[in-house]
Structure 1
Amino acid sequence: MNTFVETLFNGLTLGSVYALVTVGFVVVFKASGAMNFAHGSLLLLGGYLVAVLRSDLGFAGALAAAAACTAAAAGLLALVLRAAGPGAPAHTLTILTIGVDLILSTDLARRLGPDILGLADPWGDRVVDLGPFPVAAARLASLAAAVLLVGAVLAAFRWSRWGLAMRAATQDREAAALMGVRQQRVRLLAWCAAGVLATVAAVFLASFPAPGLDRTTGTVALKALPAAILGGIDSVGGALLGSMLVGTTEALVAGYHQHLGAAGQGLAGVAPYAVMVLVLLVRPRGLLGSKETTRV
C-alpha cells in the first residue's frame, strides 16, 4: 500500500511539472489558434540560460533573468508569426513553429553537446519524509510552484483585463476587434507567459532525481502535448486535469511495469499517448474542451 501511495504522489508531482508546460500550450492556442511546437525548444532555452547565468547571478537571479529572456524569445516568435499576415490560417502558423523549433533546438543541442548541466537549485538532493515514504524536496517545490503559477493564470483569465480580452477574442475575433480589443497585445502577452512557464518547468525537470539539464530535456513537451489534447486544448482547467492524469498514468506504469512482463518494457513512455487516444475516442474535444456550436 505504501508503494502505491508513493507512486501515486510521484505521479501527481510529475503531473504538476507537465501542467506548467501544458498551460503554455493552451494559452498560446487560445491566443493564436495555433499549436506552438517550438515550446520544447523554449523550455530548453530557459533551462540553459539558468545553468549559464547561475554562477554570476545566483539561482534566483538566474531564474528571473532566464524567464525574462525566454519570455522575450517567445514574444519575438509571436512577432515572427505575425509577419505571416493577420489572416494566415492556423496550420500555417503551426508549421512555422516547427521550423523555428528545428533551428532553435539544433543550436541549443550544439551548445550543450553531451554535457549534463546542473542548475544549482536550492533543493539539491534533499529528501523529505512524508509519513512512511520519502519524497524529493524538488518534487514538493514543483507541486507548490505549479499551484501558484497555474492558479495565477486561472485568476488572470477570470479577473484581469487581459483574460477578458483573451476570452472575447476566443469567442469571436472579429467582434472583439470591433469592440477595441488589441488582439496583437493579447497574443504577445500570452506567448510571453508561456515562455515564463516553460523556464520554471525546465528547472524542475532538471532537478533531483533527474541528473541535470541535457539536450533531450526539451522533449518533455511531447509528453505534455497529450495532456493538453486530452484535457481540452482550449481549456486551462482541462490542461491541469490532463497533466495530472498523464503524470499519474506514467508513474503507475513505470512503478508496476515488472508485473506486466515483457509488455511492460518501455510502456511508461507510450502510456500517455494511449490514454489520450482512449479519451479522444469517447470525447473528441477532450475532457473539458469547448463544444463547437453551429447556428442554423
Structure 2
Amino acid sequence: MTTLLSTLFDGLALGAVYALVALGFVIIFKASGVMNFAHGSLLLLGGYLTAVLHDDLGFAGALAVSVLVTAAVAGALDRFLLQAGGTDPHGAHVQTIVTIGVDILILTDLSRRIGGDLLSLGDPWGDSVSEWGPVTVADSRIGAIVVSGVVIAGVFALFRYTSWGLSLRAAAEDVEAASLMGVRLVRIRMLAWCLAGALAALAAVFLAAFPAPGLERTTGQIALKAFPAAILGGMASPPGALAGSLLIGMTEALVAGYQSDLHVLGEGFGDVAPYAVMVLVLLVRPTGLFGGKAAVRV
C-alpha cells in the first residue's frame, strides 16, 4: 500500500508538470493551428537561463527572468518568423514544419553550451523530503503540485474572464468571423505563444528538480511526453490537456513503480508507455477524450 500511495503521488506531480507543457501545446494550437515542435527547446532554454542566473539573481529572480525571456523568445518566434507570411490558417502546416527547424537550431546551441554537465537550478527544495504517514514525499513534488495547480487555475481564469481569452476562443472557433468582428489575430496568437513559452520555462524547474539529477541537454525531450497528453485530451481542449496530462503522469509513475512486475514488457517500457496509452485511447476516441466531432458541410 505504501508503494502504491507513493507512486500515485509521484504520478500526480508528474501529471501536474506535464499539464503546464501540454497547455502550451494546446494554447498555441488554438491560437494559430500550429503544432509547436520547438516547445521542448523553449523548455530547455527556460531551464538553462534559470541555471546560469540563479547564482547572481537568486532562484526567484532567475526564474522570473527566464520566464520573461522565454516568453519573449516564443512570441518573437511567432511574430517575426511564423507570421512573416501572414496569419492564413491554411499555412499552419508549413509553420509547423518551420518549428521543427527552429527546435533543431535552439537545441543544438543549448546542447553545445550544456555539454555533458548536470546543471542545478538552485531551487529552494533541494533534496529535502517530508513524511506523510508511511509515505515519504520529495518536497519538490509537493511544490510541483501546488505551483502547477495555482498557475493552471490562473490560465483557466484567463480563458474564462479576460477579453484575450474570449478573443482566443472566438479565433479558435472561426478565424474569419473573429477577424471580421475586430479580433486582432496577430496580437492574440503572439500573446498565446508568449504564455506557452512562460509555462514551458516554469515546467523546466520541476522537471530538473530532485529526484531528477539536474538540468541536462536531454531535458527538453521530456516535453515530448506532454505531447501525447495534449493529443489525448483533444488538441483544442485545455481541460482535455489537463486530464490527458494526469493520465500520462499516472501511467508513467505506475510503470516505473512496478517495473519489476512488468519485466515481460521490456526494461524500457516506461519510456514508451505514454505513447502506448495515447494509441489505445485514440483507437476508441479518435478526436481525443474531450475532442468534439468536426462538422462537415455537404
TM-score normalised to structure 1 length:
0.98
Is residue 88 of structure 2 the alignment partner of residue 76 of structure 1? no
Letter in 1 for 2:236: D
Structure 2 Cα separation of the partners of residues 164 and 190 of structure 1: 12
Equivalent in 209, 212, 226 of residue 210 of structure 1: 212
Which residue is equivalent to 2:62?
A: 62
Letter in 2 for 1:48: Y
Which residue is equivalent to 1:293?
A: 295
Deviations 1:115-154 (A, max 9, x none): 1100110111110111211100000000011111111111
Equivalent in 254, 268, 283 of residue 281 of structure 1: 283
Which residue is equivalent to 2:160?
A: 158
Which residue is equivalent to 1:149?
A: 151
Structure 2 Cα separation of the partners of residues 145 and 35 of structure 1: 26
Which residue is equivalent to 2:45?
A: 45
Which residue is equivalent to 2:2?
A: 2
Which residue is equivalent to 2:97?
A: 95
Which residue is equivalent to 2:191?
A: 189
**What are the within-5 Å matches in structure 2 for residues 100-111 of structure 1?**
100-111=102-113
Equivalent in 169, 172, 181 of residue 171 of structure 2: 169
Structure 1 Cα separation of the partners of residues 262 and 171 of structure 2: 48
C-alpha contact 2:87 2:186 (8 A) present in aligned 1: no
**What is the CA-CA distance between 1:295 and the residue it aligns to?**
3.9
Is residue 22 of structure 2 the alignment partner of residue 22 of structure 1? yes
**What is the CA-CA distance between 1:262 and the residue it aligns to?**
3.6
**What is the CA-CA distance between 1:291 and the residue it aligns to?**
2.2
Structure 1, gaps ≥5 residues long: none
**What is the CA-CA distance between 1:60 and the residue it aligns to?**
0.3
Q: How many equivalent residue pairs?
A: 296
Percent pairwise identity: 62
C-alpha contact 1:165 1:186 (8 A) present in aligned 2: yes
Q: What is the RMSD of the two structures over their aligned residues, measured on CA atoms?
A: 1.0
Which residue is equivalent to 2:182?
A: 180
C-alpha contact 1:235 1:290 (8 A) present in aligned 2: no
**What is the CA-CA distance between 1:70 and the residue it aligns to?**
0.3
Structure 2 Cα separation of the partners of residues 261 and 223 of structure 1: 21
Deviations 1:258-284 (A, max 9, x none): 112342411111110000001101111
Structure 2 Cα separation of the partners of residues 3 and 264 of structure 1: 21
Which residue is equivalent to 1:34?
A: 34
Structure 1 Cα separation of the partners of residues 261 and 283 of structure 2: 27
Equivalent in 261, 264, 272 of residue 263 of structure 2: 261
Structure 1 Cα separation of the partners of residues 257 and 295 of structure 2: 42
**What is the CA-CA distance between 1:257 and the residue it aligns to?**
1.4
Structure 1 Cα separation of the partners of residues 47 and 263 of structure 2: 36
Which residue is equivalent to 1:228?
A: 230
Structure 1 Cα separation of the partners of residues 121 and 64 of structure 2: 13
Structure 2 Cα separation of the partners of residues 33 and 178 of structure 1: 19
**What is the CA-CA distance between 1:230 and the residue it aligns to?**
0.7
Q: Which moved more, 1:256-265 or 1:94-103?
A: 256-265
Structure 2 Cα separation of the partners of residues 61 and 86 of structure 1: 35
Structure 2 Cα separation of the partners of residues 248 and 237 of structure 1: 17
Structure 2 Cα separation of the partners of residues 293 and 149 of structure 1: 33
Which residue is equivalent to 1:86?
A: 87
Letter in 2 for 1:47: G
